[in-house]
Amino acid sequence: MKKTTTAALVAALLLWAGFVNADWSANLGWASEYHYRGIFQASSSASGGLDFEQGGFYAGTWAADVGDGLEVDGYFGYGGEVGDFSYGIGFTGYYYTGDFDDTYQEINLSGGYGLVTLDVALGQYENFTGPTQDYTYFALTTEKNGFYGKYAGFSRDFMGEYVEVGYGATVAEIDLGISIIFANKDLMGVSDESAVFSIGKSFDF
């Protein structure tokens, strides 16, 4: 019994040491409009999150005001680089405190080379009392010196594509961004163009 207790204590101390020595960060932000994957969510949306990362492993949570309550996300995964290649795999869940939307859960995959990254999400939408829906999301992004362009969209039970271009920079430790989003009729019901301004601040612990 004593050996078992000692081993458990050592394991707990090692786990705690890893937990404490992880890189912790937090973020706060505001956007003139909150769009997610090309789809309008809310105007004048505040957000905040907490993350930790260690040795390529990461986990975190993020929440945003969507008008009728909050969107609360939880995620974890692993990512790394080999030369000019980058890769990642993870899980994300999207949950809501009000009736704005229902739960989404997905597996996230990413691969990149140089300035180009491909992200793919394989997900399921609970859809309130309706039948559960499946979706695949893809995004091809290129970025350099703060400028970026993205072509992305959905397939399976969800449909539609969008193009997003923008620029982000950090000024006096404040993150500033502007983006323009062009969503097609399949995604929004009508063709839609939006300009979004954002401001944020990150904190390392």
Q: Flag whether pLDDT at 9 surpasses 90.
A: no
pLDDT tens-place string over residues 77-114: 999 999 999 999 999 999 999 999 999 999 999 999 99
Cα–Cα distances in angstroms (integers) from residue 179 to residues 29, 34, 182, 187, in the given order: 15, 11, 10, 18
pLDDT tens-place string over residues 148-158: 999 999 999 99
d(CA 61, CA 145): 27
Would you tell me which CATH number, out of the four given (3.30.420.140, 2.40.160.160, 3.30.420.40, 3.10.450.30), belongs to the domain 24-204? 2.40.160.160
The whole-model pTM stands at: 0.89
Going by pLDDT thresholds of 50, 70 and 90, the confidence category of residue 15 is: very low
Q: What is the pLDDT of residue 203?
A: 96
Q: Flag whether pLDDT at 2 surpasses 70.
A: no
Contact 80, 65 (CB under 8 A): no
Going by pLDDT thresholds of 50, 70 and 90, the confidence category of residue 62 is: very high
Token pair recorded at residue 170: 């950090």
Q: Where are the chain's structural domains?
A: 24-204
Percent of the chain with pLDDT over 70: 90
